[in-house]
Amino acid sequence: MSITSNHGRTDAQAHPPHNTSTMAHAHLGEGYDVYTVIFEFTVEPWQQKELSEKIQALVHDIVCHQPGFISSHLHLSQDGEKVINYFQWESRDAFDEFRRDEEKQQRIRPVIGPYKPQPRAYDVVYSAHRNVG
């Protein structure tokens, strides 16, 4: 099975990218003061693409506009059984404020709730990057 980031769609069909030049960029590793939350979903392989598209729409339409949001990275397992959404927020307070916004949560819950997400907060303690140059 071959998986592409746009599920075979052209960039024009995928959600448009955000202007990252004005947004904070994701940072990994010790010393970065960010709040990291990872949502894990276990799905049947036939559900993976559908859930991925739903998450992309929610992030594009709701999450990325929230104060304190830094980034979201969506990962699909090659066996089709896992969807991982990795979020970074400026602080736990920013994430908690977003979670307390009942109007937004009422839009999100019916979409991802049936997939039984397993969210957890993590401390990033190490990150390695390839040296360029």
Task: Identify the CATH assignment for 32-122 out of 3.40.30.10, 3.30.70.100, 3.30.1280.10, 3.40.50.300.
Answer: 3.30.70.100
- Tokens of residue 53, six digits: 């598209």
Please tell me the predicted confidence (pLDDT) of residue 96.
96
- For 13-32, what is each residue's pLDDT tens digit? 343 333 333 334 455 555 56
Q: Evaluate whether 40 touches 118 at the Cβ level (below 8 Å).
A: yes
- Please enumerate in sequence order all residues whose Cβ is within 8 A of that of 77, keeping only pairs 6 or more positions apart, or say none: 48, 83, 84
Domain ranges of the chain: 32-122
Please tell me the predicted confidence (pLDDT) of residue 22.
35
Q: Residue-wise pLDDT tens for the chain (133 aa)? A: 332 333 333 333 343 333 333 334 455 555 567 999 999 999 999 999 999 999 999 999 999 999 999 999 999 999 999 999 999 999 999 999 999 999 999 999 999 999 999 999 999 888 888 887 7
Please tell me the predicted confidence (pLDDT) of residue 19.
36
Q: Evaluate whether 54 touches 74 at the Cβ level (below 8 Å).
A: no
Q: What does pTM read for this prediction? A: 0.74
Q: Evaluate whether 85 touches 55 at the Cβ level (below 8 Å).
A: yes
Please tell me the predicted confidence (pLDDT) of residue 4.
32
